[in-house]
Amino acid sequence: MLPLLEIKKICKSFGDLPAVNSLSLVVNAGEIFCLLGPSGCGKTTMLRMLAGFETPESGSIMIDGRDMTAVPPAERPVNIMFQNYALFPHLSVADNIAYGLRRSGMSAPALSDRVDELLHLVRLKRFEGRKPDSLSGGQRQRTALARALARQPKLLLLDEPLAALDRKLREETQVELVSLQRQLGTSFIVVTHDQDEAMSLASRIGIMNEGHLIQTGSPQELYDKPENAFVADFLGEVSFLTGAFIRGEPDVTIALRPEHVSLRSARAKATENEFDLPVHYESATYLGANWMVRVKSASGITIKALLSPDEMDQLAPQSGAQLTVIFLRSKMHVLAPDGLASLAGAK
Amino acid sequence: MMRWGRQQLVRLYQQATAPKIGLFWVAIIPLAWLTLFFAVPLLEILGVSLGSSRRGVPPFIPAWGLSDEGLFFAPNSDSYALLLRHSSDYFIPLYNSTRLAFGSMLICLVLAFPISLWAARASGAVRLSLLVLVLLPFWTSSLLRVYAVMGLLNPTGYINQFLLFLGLRETPLDLMRMDISVYFGIVICYLPLMVLPLYAVLVRIDESLYEAATDLGATRSTTFLTITLPMARPGIVAGCLLVFIPAMGEFMIPELLGGPEQLMMGKVLWAEFFRSRDWPVASALAVLLLLVLSIPILWLRHAERRMRET
């Protein structure tokens, strides 16, 4: 089957600053794909090129088998939901939603049916006559979503769709967005800098940094098998250890998630398939369900460990106390040789 | 002594800038200004219009005021009655004023819109130079600007010199003392009053709204008609009022650039005051003109409010 979106070696720079550097990507129909990266990594520029607001310097964008690289925004089977929603302040909710339909020369009865359908879809029927000014943040977001979906795009682009919402609302909206996407089957491309948002929304994530697409994969793949330190560090908490962990290889860098690290007393010994490392206790932060404990090895590497409150009570570490870090060999993730270099480059 | 003075000053400053008192002082200054220079003169004109004419200095007895015998209050509507009896005399100047002021307003709107839109969407340096170019003539006396227009339109002016030089005309074109010269004068003098409110609304339209419209299939002209124009409406209304109302009563421009065909209300008012020396009738005329002019203002405000509510 033909992929819905195929991006081939797209390059774009602003003046001397490269924004997107030879980016290639394939997105299939029905996916929620998240472009995740720190601010200034080029993800928004990539999204704007997909919408047609920016023209790439080289490379091509194929949507549904058609070359869209030079097609103007209005003629692409793509719609965008802006970060600030860009609702028309002088139009009511219903008129905002109908805006795109009016431009497509739809007949009046069909148009009002479609607007009604969309109003019900985003639960805004009661607010159809309101102006954007008199809506809550969530209602504004849903209006923008309905407006972007009105023309039944093959691909919906969402620029930081949840950034303007407060925490509680963000979680609800995340769930809604995913169920809406399942219901409609439209492919979503979401741009975000928030790893939690990406993890909970996306079927696949592409991590971007400095204009490059560094790694793509499902949230689990990226979390469990990051290709380099940047990806490991960007998604969740991680500690990096350098040393002789593998027989025959004197110096490798491994990434270790805090939940895979256990802390024992100084006398504890590792079993066959475990690894131990003497450390001393530095500090701990209470996270509600767990404790994030920081310990330091003799060689000065900081390791983070996630401990349950029970484990923490049992251990009751004093400042500077000698402890042992123990982790399963199978849980250490060996990074590419230039693993840490990529992190240094990014920061 | 010095020390005491400074402490007093500091205390006064603190009192004046304390939240509530500060607000009071901020409000009282414009309020006093408006009372002194708007409400009092308006009341004075109303008093003269309801008073009666006489030979002397001043050439009227007001309807109310303070005399040797104390306060008096004796309004009469003679001047208004006179005006209504001779109302047909004022139709033509009123029509001329409305026609020329309305025409100039439309020309200003058509010229100011692209300038404002350009300035609003341009980047720093271009925006600044555009606004300065629009405002710069505003810093010179309007009398000078009117003379500059005469220098352009005269039979020996630049435009005619140019036409004669190109050989397009054998004799100079008659451009002075016509509608076109009055339009020219009013537009040149009032253009900034249209540009500024338009610019102020257009610069606040977020760029992403244009992109959203484009994304939803709107062409450039549709975007202009469905987004730019409706969102600029408050600025259009403000600019039109700022041009139309003072242009209605304009005296200098039709006097210097117009002919008998361009007799406007301002000139009639002037004639009533200084030629007939009938101040009560002149004041009554001014009051009536004010009432006539407040109709479009009130109607526009009403329409604006209704638009906002629905």
Summarize pLDDT for A59-101 with one digit per residue, the tens.
Answer: 999 999 999 999 999 999 999 999 999 999 999 999 999 999 9
Q: How confident is the model at residue A28 (pLDDT cuts 50, 70, 90)?
A: very high
Q: Are strands A302-307 and A322-328 parallel, antiparallel or unpaired?
A: unpaired
Residue ranges, CATH 1.10.3720.10, chain B: 90-277
Does the pLDDT value for residue B249 go beyond 80?
Answer: yes
**Interface check B77 vs A, CB under 8 A:** no
pLDDT of residue B16 exceeding 70: no
Query: Looking at residue B287, what is its pLDDT?
Result: 93
Q: At what angle do helices B233-248 and B279-309 cross, to 10 degrees?
A: 170
**At residue B94, what is the residue type?**
L
- Chain A interface includes B230 (CB < 8 A): yes
- pLDDT, residue B69, reads 83
| Burial bucket for residue B245 (CB in 10 Å: 0-12, 13-18, 19+) | middle
Question: Are the Cβ atoms of A74 and B208 closer than 8 angstroms?
Answer: no
Residues B178 and B190: their CA atoms lie apart, in Å, by: 19
Residue A343 has pLDDT above 70, yes or no: no
Residue A203 pLDDT: 93
Tally A–B CB contacts below 8 A.
59
Peptide bond into B58 cis (omega under 30): yes
Q: Among A325-339, B58-72, B207-221, name the one with the lowest average pLDDT.
A: A325-339
Q: Which is more confidently placed, A17 or A206?
A: A206
Confidence of residue A246 (pLDDT cuts 50, 70, 90): low
Q: Which has the higher per-residue pLDDT, A157 or A347?
A: A157
Could you give the residue ranges of the DSSP H alpha helices within chain A? 43-51, 93-103, 108-121, 137-149, 167-184, 195-201, 219-224, 229-234, 309-315, 339-346
Answer yes or no: is pLDDT of B2 > 50: no
Does the beta carbon of B227 lie under 8 angstroms from any beta carbon of chain A? yes
**Residue among B208, B215, B217 minimizing CB distance to A104:** B217
Mutate to test the interface with B, among A48, A80, A92 (most CBs of B within 10 A): A80
Phi, psi of A59, rounded to the nearest 5 degrees:
95, 175
- How far is Cα B175 from Cα B168, in angstroms, rounded to an integer? 15
For an interface test with A, give the residue of B215, B222, B307 to mutate (most A CBs within 10 A). B215
Average pLDDT in the B138-157 region?
A: 90
Which residue from B minimizes the CA distance to A131?
B310
Q: Chain A interface residues facing chain B, Cβ-Cβ under 8 Å?
A: 51-53, 72-74, 78-80, 82, 84, 86-90, 99-100, 103-104, 147-148, 150-151
User: Would the pLDDT of A344 be above 50?
Assistant: no
Q: What's the pLDDT score for residue A346?
A: 42
pLDDT for A238 beyond 70: yes
CA distance A198 to A192: 7
**Is residue A60 a contact partner of residue A12, using CB atoms and an 8 Å limit?**
no
Which CATH number does B90-277 carry?
1.10.3720.10
* Cα–Cα distance measured from residue A223 to residue A218, given in angstroms and rounded to the nearest whole number: 9
Is it the case that residue B1 has pLDDT exceeding 50?
no
Q: Tell me what the mean pLDDT of segment B10-24 comes to.
A: 65
Q: Is residue B226 less than 8 Å (CB to CB) from chain A? A: yes
Q: Which residues pair with A173 in a beta bridge?
A: none
| For residue B95, pLDDT beyond 70 | yes
Closest CA–CA distance from residue A55 to any residue of chain B (Å): 14
Under the banding of pLDDT at 50, 70 and 90, the label for residue B228 is very high
Beta strand residue intervals within chain A, DSSP E: 5-14, 17-27, 32-36, 58-63, 66-67, 78-81, 155-159, 187-192, 204-209, 212-217, 239-243, 252-256, 262-265, 274-286, 291-297, 302-307, 322-328, 333-334
Instruction: Please tell me which residue, A134 or B13, carries the higher pLDDT value.
Output: A134
pLDDT at site B85: 94
Residue B219 touches partner A, C-beta closer than 8 Å: yes
Distance of CA A210 to the CA centre of its chain: 16
Percent of chain A at pLDDT above 70?
94
Residue A241 carries which side chain, given as an amino acid letter? L
Q: Which CATH number fits domain A5-233: 3.40.50.720, 3.40.50.300, 3.80.10.10, 3.90.850.10?
A: 3.40.50.300
Q: What pairs with residue A333 in β-bridges?
A: A255
**DSSP category for residue A160:** S
Report, in angstroms and rounded to the nearest whole number, the Rg of chain B calculated over CA atoms: 25
C-alpha closest to that of A25 among A61, A66, A74, A72: A61
**How far is the C-alpha of A208 from the C-alpha of A42, rounded, in Å?**
7
To the nearest whole number, what is the mean pLDDT of chain A?
89
Q: What is the mean pLDDT of residues B252-256?
A: 93
- Give which of A103, A151, A160 to mutate to test B binding, by max B Cβ within 10 Å: A103
Average pLDDT over residues A250-263: 85
Q: How many CB atoms lie within 10 A of CB A84?
A: 15
For A236-346, CATH number out of 2.40.50.100, 3.30.1600.10, 1.10.3470.10, 3.40.50.720 equals: 2.40.50.100
**Chain B residue with the nearest C-alpha to that of A133:** B308
Averaged pLDDT for residues B120-148:
90
Encoding tokens for residue B52?
A: 């009666």
Q: Is B93:B259 a contact under the CB 8 Å cutoff? A: no
Is A151:A100 a contact under the CB 8 Å cutoff? Answer: yes
Task: Give the Å distances, CA to CA, from B130 to B122, B125, B134, B232.
Answer: 9, 9, 6, 19
Query: Phi and psi at residue A286, in whole multiples of 5°?
Result: -85, 125
Rounded CA-CA distance B191/B115 in Å is 10
Mean of pLDDT values over A274-291: 89
Helix, strand, or coil here: A7? Answer: strand
**Whether residue A248 has pLDDT greater than 70:** no
- In chain B, % of residues over pLDDT 70: 93
Cα dist. B143→B162, B207, B223 in Å?
Answer: 25, 40, 41
pLDDT tens digits for A134-167?
Answer: 999 999 999 999 999 999 999 999 999 998 888 8
For chain B, positions 95-154, list CB contacts with chain A under 8 A. none
Residues of B with Cβ-Cβ distance to A51 under 8 angstroms: 211, 215
The answer to whether residue B212 neighbours chain A at the CB level (below 8 Å) is yes
Provide, rounded to the nearest whole percent, the portion of chain A with pLDDT above 90. 62
Residues carrying CATH 3.40.50.300, chain A: 5-233
- Shortest CA distance to A194 belongs to which of A233, A234, A156? A234
**Looking at residues B32-53, what average pLDDT do you find?**
92
pLDDT reading at B5 higher than 70? no
Give the pLDDT score at A314: 86
pLDDT > 90: percent of chain B: 58
Alpha helices in chain B (DSSP H): 2-17, 19-34, 40-49, 78-85, 87-121, 124-135, 142-153, 158-166, 179-202, 207-215, 220-223, 229-231, 233-248, 252-257, 265-270, 279-309
Report residue A150 as tokens. 């009105």
Contact A260, A304 (CB under 8 A): no
Distance between CA B231 and CA B205 in Å, rounded? Answer: 8
Q: Which helix (H) or strand (E) holds B66?
A: strand B64-67
> Which pLDDT belongs to residue B22?
63
pLDDT (0 to 100) of residue A178: 93
Q: Report the phi/psi class of residue A248: left, alpha or beta, with left for phi > 0 and alpha for psi in -120 to 50.
A: left
Query: Per residue in B167-209, pLDDT tens?
Result: 888 888 888 898 999 999 999 999 999 999 999 999 999 999 9
How far is the C-alpha of A89 from the C-alpha of B232, rounded, in Å?
12
**Closest residue to B215, CB basis, from A80, A84, A89:** A80
Mean pLDDT throughout B76-105? 93
